[in-house]
């Protein structure tokens, strides 16, 4: 027998796991939970019956008090108090028990809510007794005692109901765990569906903007090689050359006139025959020689001639060596064709103004800047959308992982319930 038992175990085939459809598994769990709840509700039926009976009795006693009149031999003061407090007492009692009136046992399927409503009713009854019912026992003693008795019964029922609720809502059962995982999975799948739709929408927008960017890049590239742009580039180069020539002329004039600043300053102080206009011109050549030269409409040779004469005649106090050098510098400067420098400068300025106006009239720059701005905006939108898509994809991955974990939990708990390995086909 021992050997047979051994070989039986040795050759015994392992049982294959039971395969269930996800819908089938869910129905199984919901049926089991319904049976569990039905069992708990069956245990609560006597309590609910007792609650409804006590409520009905309180309502009946309240009706008796309402229909009863205050005895004539009641003390005047007490009678007055009773007349005042009786109506709100009756109203308070009926308002308190009203949620439970005309109800059937089968109406109560949520024991936690039932117990909460019962506690609220007991609180209301207590307030009525303490408030409007303080003096009524002196007239309706038996009735008030009945109400208090039923209130006490209700309190006991509430305690028993609370114990039942606690015992039924202890640690989550495998059924509850599996069903709660199903419900959470429903929520995750709903979120994923919404995110997938949003992802699709944003990808469509991204593709559209990328196409727009491609068009802008092509347009900008085409514009950069157009004849208009080439013409503009030529004008800009011409303008650059003119600016260099103008700078060169200004530099030349600066170096020619700067040595005259000291003699002119002395001449300005010691020459009394100069009129106001000449003085202003001399001041200009002292302070800003280049600017004065190119803005001066008169010939500089007149001032230089007077300056040279004053130097040679000793009207300006200079040492002999300095006087000779200054006279030599003035002579050299007077030999330079300053008028031709001024004319060349003026001609270049005219050319520059003409080129500047032509460049400003060109719309190609405005168009190019507009295209660049649109391209930058498209790049910014693409970057933003790619970030949003990345975040959405990350959330979807998290939800998928949570769904996978929930599915594992469901399988584990159903396997516990069935007492064997279960596999689920997820639909």
CATH label of the domain that carries residue 65: 1.20.120
Structure confidence at residue 404 (pLDDT): 94
Distance CA 169, CA 206 (A): 51
pLDDT band at residue 7 under the 50/70/90 scheme: very low
Q: Please tell me the distance from the alpha carbon of residue 83 to that of residue 81, in angstroms, as a whole number.
A: 5
The answer to whether residue 379 sits within a structural domain is no
Q: Does residue 155 share a domain with residue 237?
A: no
Average pLDDT (256-279) is 77
pTM over 0.75: no
Q: Is the model's pLDDT at 14 over the cut of 60?
A: no
Specify whether 144 is located in the same domain as 250: no
Examine the fold and report which residue of 132, 153, 170 is the final residue of a domain before the chain moves on: 170
Give the model confidence (pLDDT) of 81-138 as tens digits: 778 888 888 888 889 999 998 889 888 888 888 889 999 999 988 888 777 667 677 7
Quote the tokens at residue 119.
């506690």
The Cα–Cα gap between 180 and 403 comes to: 12
Is 325 part of any domain?
A: yes
Task: Give a yes or no: residue 13 inside a domain.
Answer: no
Tens digit of pLDDT for each residue in 222-266? 777 777 777 878 888 899 999 999 999 999 999 988 888 888 887
Q: Are residues 162 and 43 in the same domain?
A: yes
- For position 403, what pLDDT does the model report? 94
Same domain, 357 and 287: yes
Residue 157 pLDDT greater than 50, yes or no: yes
Decide which of 297 and 130 is more confident: 130
Q: What pLDDT digit, counting tens, does each position of 166-224 carry?
A: 776 656 788 889 999 999 999 999 999 999 999 999 999 999 999 999 999 998 887 77
pLDDT at 313 over 70: yes
Say whether both 166 and 38 belong to one domain: yes
pLDDT for residue 259: 85
Angle at 424 between CA 423 and CA 427, to 5 degrees: 160
pLDDT digits (tens, 9 = 90+) for 394-415: 999 999 999 999 999 999 999 9
343, 366, 389 - which closes a domain: 366
Contact 312, 330 (CB under 8 A): no
Residue 129 and residue 255 in one domain? no
Residue 15 has pLDDT above 70, yes or no: no
Instruction: Tell the residue number behind the tokens 């006597």, with chain if given.
Output: 46
**What per-residue string of b and e applies to 269-293 under the rule 16 or more CB within 10 Å gives b?**
eebeeeeeebeebbebbbeebbebb
Query: Looking at the predicted structure, is the pLDDT value of residue 373 above 80?
Result: yes
Q: In the predicted model, what is the mean pLDDT of residues 262-288? A: 77
Mean confidence (pLDDT) of the chain = 84
Triad 120, 122, 127: Cα angle to 5°: 95
CA–CA gap between residue 135 and residue 130 (Å, rounded): 9
- With cut-offs at 50, 70 and 90, classify the pLDDT of residue 337: confident
Mean pLDDT of 347-376: 85
Q: Both 79 and 162 in a single domain? A: yes
**Domain with 243 in it:** 227-366
The reply to whether 332 falls in a domain is yes
Residues 156 and 88 both lie in one domain: yes
- Note the pLDDT of residue 210: 94
Residues 156 and 254 in one domain: no
- Tens digits of per-residue pLDDT, 38-68? 888 888 899 989 999 999 999 998 888 888 8
Domain total of the chain: 2
Q: Between β-strands 18-21 and 422-425, what pairing exists: parallel, antiparallel or unpaired?
A: parallel
pLDDT of residue 143: 85
């Amino acid at each position: 027998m021992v050997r047979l038992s051994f070989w039986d175990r040795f050759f015994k085939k392992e049982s294959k796991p039971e395969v269930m459809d996800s819908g089938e598994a869910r129905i199984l769990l919901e049926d089991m939970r319904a049976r569990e709840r039905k069992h708990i509700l069956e245990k609560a039926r006597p309590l609910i019956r007792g609650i409804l009976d006590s409520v009905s009795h309180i309502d009946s006693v309240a009706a008796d008090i309402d229909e009863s009149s205050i005895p004539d031999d009641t003390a005047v003061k007490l009678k007055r108090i009773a007349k005042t407090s009786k109506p709100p007492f009756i109203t308070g009692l009926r308002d308190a028990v009203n949620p439970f009136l005309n109800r059937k046992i089968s109406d109560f399927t949520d024991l936690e809510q039932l117990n909460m409503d019962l506690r609220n009713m007991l609180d209301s009854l207590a307030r009525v007794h303490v408030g409007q019912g303080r003096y009524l026992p002196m007239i309706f003693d038996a009735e008030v005692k009945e109400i208090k008795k039923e209130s006490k019964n209700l309190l006991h029922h509430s305690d028993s109901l609370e114990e039942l609720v606690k015992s039924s809502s202890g640690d989550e059962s495998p059924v509850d765990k599996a069903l709660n995982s199903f419900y959470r999975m429903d929520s995750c799948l709903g979120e994923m569906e919404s995110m997938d739709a949003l992802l699709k929408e944003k990808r469509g927008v991204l593709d559209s903007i990328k196409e727009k960017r491609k068009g802008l890049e092509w347009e900008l590239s085409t514009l950069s090689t157009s004849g208009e742009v080439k013409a503009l580039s030529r004008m800009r180069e011409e303008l650059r050359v003119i600016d260099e020539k103008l700078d060169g002329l200004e530099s030349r004039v600066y170096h020619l006139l700067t040595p005259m600043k000291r003699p002119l300053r002395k001449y300005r102080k010691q020459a009394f025959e100069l009129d106001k206009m000449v003085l202003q011109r001399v001041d200009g050549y002292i302070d800003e020689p280049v600017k004065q030269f190119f803005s001066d409409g008169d010939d500089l040779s007149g001032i230089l001639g007077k300056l040279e004469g004053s130097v040679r005649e000793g009207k300006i106090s200079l040492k002999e060596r300095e006087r000779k050098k200054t006279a030599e510098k003035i002579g050299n400067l007077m030999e330079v064709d300053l008028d031709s420098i001024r004319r060349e400068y003026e001609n270049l300025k005219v050319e520059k103004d003409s080129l500047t106006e032509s460049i400003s009239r060109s719309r190609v720059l405005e168009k190019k800047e507009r295209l660049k701005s649109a391209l930058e905006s498209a790049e910014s939108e693409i970057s933003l959308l790619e970030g949003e898509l990345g975040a959405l994809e990350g959330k979807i991955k998290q939800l998928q992982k949570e769904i996978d974990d929930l599915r594992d939990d469901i399988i584990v708990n159903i396997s516990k319930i069935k007492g064997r390995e279960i596999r689920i086909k997820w639909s």
